């Protein structure tokens, strides 16, 4: 059988075609290089691999769609070990800003730039034009400015995390249009203003963390319509008004943290009889009695009602709870005997009340 041979011109064309297949889109390549130029590592590491024209090949933190060869993911997370050809590398600090050129990566579905400590500037406004985005994680930087007002355009977004930054302004009204959102984390910023009253439209949401901000106003009752919500943390804000009784009707809610706010009124009995495992209502202005609503189905790993204006006795039904781990009723105006089942609890959990008695405090 005769051998196959190629002319020099044919070989050159094959090599050119092979190179083109391995290369990523020229527009994506240019956008990535602009993105890279706006960031500065504290030592050589990730960006050392960003050489050549094949950004879909060995560029650390960059992934492309297999068919289109368009950039689909940027995942630059400080902390995990990135393996290079020379040795494992653990990045620790990066400064600079997120270039708006990133918005030219029109097929981007994942954007993770987290825990670098020194990346500052604002979130590019144009990020709302990246219609395929599913994940935005900018946690642990020094990003300032506001969240994009039209972030609700990102109809496929399932995770939005910008915790531990310097973000200001209000929660955008359009955020409640992200009906596929499952994880929202805006902890430890400088966000002010109210929680959108129609928050309940986020029916796929399972975790919402808004603690450590300057959020004001009341807790929207519409939250009870988020039937998949497991964790809700609104602690360390300036929320006021009553706790919505409807929060106790949420079938899968496991963690509810409302501590360090300005909430008033009484504790809804449904909260104590619900399936919540971790309930923290401390450091508020709650008043009235602790509802006598505990039952055999109650299972609390944490129950903290300290630093309020609660009065009256500790409910007898508390002894019928299936389990209560850490409990703190201190710094209230409670009076009467402590249930025998809490005789071995630390005395500080019941201290600074008007007239509680019995173990672990003094005898009645």
Residue-wise pLDDT tens digits, 310-323 = 999 999 999 999 99
The rounded percent of the chain whose pLDDT value lies above 70 is 90
Domain 194-364 CATH class label: alpha beta
Contact indicator for 282, 263 with CB cutoff of 8 Å: no
- Does a cis peptide bond (omega within 30 degrees of 0) precede residue 134? no
What distance in Å separates the CA atoms of residue 65 and residue 94, rounded to the nearest whole number? 27
Long-range contacts of 193-200 (CB under 8 A, 24+ apart): 193/169, 193/217, 194/170, 194/218, 195/171, 195/219, 195/220, 195/234, 196/171, 196/220, 197/222, 198/222, 199/223, 199/226, 200/224, 200/225, 200/226
What distance in Å separates the CA atoms of residue 166 and residue 188, rounded to the nearest whole number? 8
DSSP state of 242: P
pTM above 0.75, yes or no: yes
Quote the Cα angle for 102-108-110, to 5°.
105
| 5-19, 33-47, 101-115, 179-193: the lowest-pLDDT one | 5-19
Per-residue pLDDT tens for 176-229? 999 999 999 999 999 999 999 999 999 999 999 999 999 999 999 999 999 999
Q: Which CATH superfamily is domain 22-166 in?
A: Ribonuclease Inhibitor (3.80.10.10)
Q: Where in the chain is the domain with CATH 3.80.10.10?
A: 22-166, 194-364
């Amino acid at each position: 059988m005769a051998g196959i041979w190629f002319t020099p011109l044919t070989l050159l064309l094959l090599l050119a075609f092979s190179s083109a297949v391995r290369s990523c889109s020229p527009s994506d390549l240019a956008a990535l290089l602009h993105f890279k130029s706006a960031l500065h590592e504290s030592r050589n590491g990730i960006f050392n691999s960003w050489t050549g024209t094949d950004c879909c090949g060995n560029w650390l933190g960059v992934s492309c769609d297999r068919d289109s060869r368009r950039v689909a993911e940027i995942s630059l997370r400080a902390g995990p070990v990135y393996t290079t050809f020379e040795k494992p590398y653990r990045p620790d600090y990066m400064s600079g800003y997120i270039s708006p050129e990133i918005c030219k990566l029109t097929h981007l579905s994942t954007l993770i730039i987290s825990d670098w400590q020194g990346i500052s500037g604002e979130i590019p406004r144009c990020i709302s034009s990246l219609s395929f985005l599913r994940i935005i994680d900018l946690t642990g930087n020094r990003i300032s400015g506001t969240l994009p007002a039209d972030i609700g355009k990102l109809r496929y977004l399932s995770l939005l995390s910008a915790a531990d930054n310097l973000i200001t302004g209000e929660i955008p009204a359009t955020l409640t249009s992200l009906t596929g959102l499952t994880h929202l984390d805006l902890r430890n910023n400088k966000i002010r203003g109210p929680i959108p009253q129609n928050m309940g439209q986020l029916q796929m949401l399972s975790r919402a963390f808004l603690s450590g901000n300057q959020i004001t106003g009341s807790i929207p009752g519409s939250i009870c319509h988020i039937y998949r919500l497991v964790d809700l943390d609104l602690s360390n804000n300036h929320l006021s008004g009553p706790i919505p009784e409807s929060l106790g009707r949420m079938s899968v809610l496991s963690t509810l943290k409302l501590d360090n706010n300005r909430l008033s009124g009484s504790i809804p009995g449904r909260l104590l009889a619900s399936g919540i495992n971790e309930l923290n209502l401390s450091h508020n202005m709650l008043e009235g009695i602790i509802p006598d609503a505990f039952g055999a189905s109650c299972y609390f790993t944490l129950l903290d009602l300290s630093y309020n204006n609660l009065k009256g006795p500790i409910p007898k039904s508390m002894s019928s709870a299936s389990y209560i781990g850490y409990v703190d009723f201190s710094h209230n105006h409670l009076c009467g005997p402590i249930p025998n089942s809490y005789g071995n609890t630390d005395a500080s959990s019941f201290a600074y009340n008007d007239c509680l008695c019995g173990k672990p405090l003094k005898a009645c």
